Amino acid sequence: MLEELLDANKEYAGKFALAGLAPRAAKGLALLTCMDSRIEPLAMLSLKPGDAKILRNAGGRVTPDVLRSLVFATSFLGVDSVVVMQHTKCALSQLSELDVESHLRSAGLEVGDWEFLTMEVPDEALASDVEAIRSCLSLPPGLTVQGWRYDVDDGSVAQIIL
């Protein structure tokens, strides 16, 4: 399967059209969302390459590494608005920390000291993630930060935290 991807890249590079694209986010947006393979972050918002910084992880949760990336994005890459976009039917909203730990144990894997950032109450998780960005003192005070939720069944986006 990996070989197929490299073959496909040869075709992509053969007609590459993004050369010279500026590294700054043309629309000033950073979008944090889940790694869920049902989400098309650019297409769903009519964005194109070069418009936005896209950050993805399990759940679209705010972690120290997300804050690190936002510090760079706001200081050097033209970002002045941040959207945390979580989604319906996220695996992290259907599991508890204990569920993940017992799954790992039953597979003979180490639980370690991970915090898996499951979301038993999705609205609370979204609110606390937005607040974690708003209260980060390494981010500029005028930064716009909102919390949105994408519906994987109909493609719509709702503004939850304004």
Query: By the 8 A CB rule, do 78 and 52 touch?
Result: no
The stretch near Zn ion (CB under 5 A) out of 61-69, 87-95, 117-125, 154-162 is: 87-95
Whole-number minimum distance, CB 90 to Zn ion, in Å? 3
Sheet order of strands, 144-150 included: 52-57, 29-34, 81-87, 144-150, 157-161
Return the structure tokens found at 14.
């053969």
| Max Cα-Cα span within the chain | 50
Query: Within 30-59, which residues bind Zn ion (CB under 5 A)?
Result: 34, 36
Strand 144-150 versus strand 81-87 pairing type: parallel
The stretch near Zn ion (CB under 5 A) out of 12-20, 29-37, 110-118, 127-135 is: 29-37
Whole-number minimum distance, CB 43 to Zn ion, in Å? 17
Whole-number minimum distance, CB 38 to Zn ion, in Å? 9
**# chain residues binding Zn ion, by CB under 5 A:** 3
Whole-number minimum distance, CB 132 to Zn ion, in Å? 18
- 90 in contact with Zn ion (CB under 5 A): yes
- H/E element, 98: helix 97-106
Query: Using CB under 5 A as the criterion, which residues of the chain lie in contact with Zn ion when the complex forms?
Result: 34, 36, 90
